[in-house]
Amino acid sequence: MDSSDPVPIKRLRGQVTRGPYGKGSKSERDAVFVDTGAKRYILRRKAGPAFADKQLDKYVGRMVICDGFLMGTTLLADTIDIVD
């Protein structure tokens, strides 16, 4: 399997944060991440835009569980559920 192949994941748990991504590059921007404690992934919704997805704002600062696909440093989420 190539490292760029999507890897299916189930029930990935992490804290959602917002911060800078790609500092100093032409793709520098503010991004939303899910931090598992061991790794940090850029969080995207499968049905959402690649950048500036306002629907992710409600998850910032919350603990979530996600199902979807890992693609390198990005988590492409099919579902995002807030954990109380």
According to the model, what pLDDT value does residue 25 have?
A: 79
User: What CATH number does the domain located at 7-82 have?
Assistant: 2.40.50
Map out the domains of the chain as residue ranges.
Answer: 7-82
The sign of the CA dihedral 41, 47, 49, 55 is negative
According to the model, what pLDDT value does residue 30 have?
A: 86
Parts of the chain with a pLDDT under 50: none
According to the model, what pLDDT value does residue 82 have?
A: 97
Question: Cα separations (Å) of 9 from 12, 24, 26, 34?
Answer: 7, 31, 30, 14
According to the model, what pLDDT value does residue 34 have?
A: 98
According to the model, what pLDDT value does residue 3 have?
A: 62
According to the model, what pLDDT value does residue 41 have?
A: 96
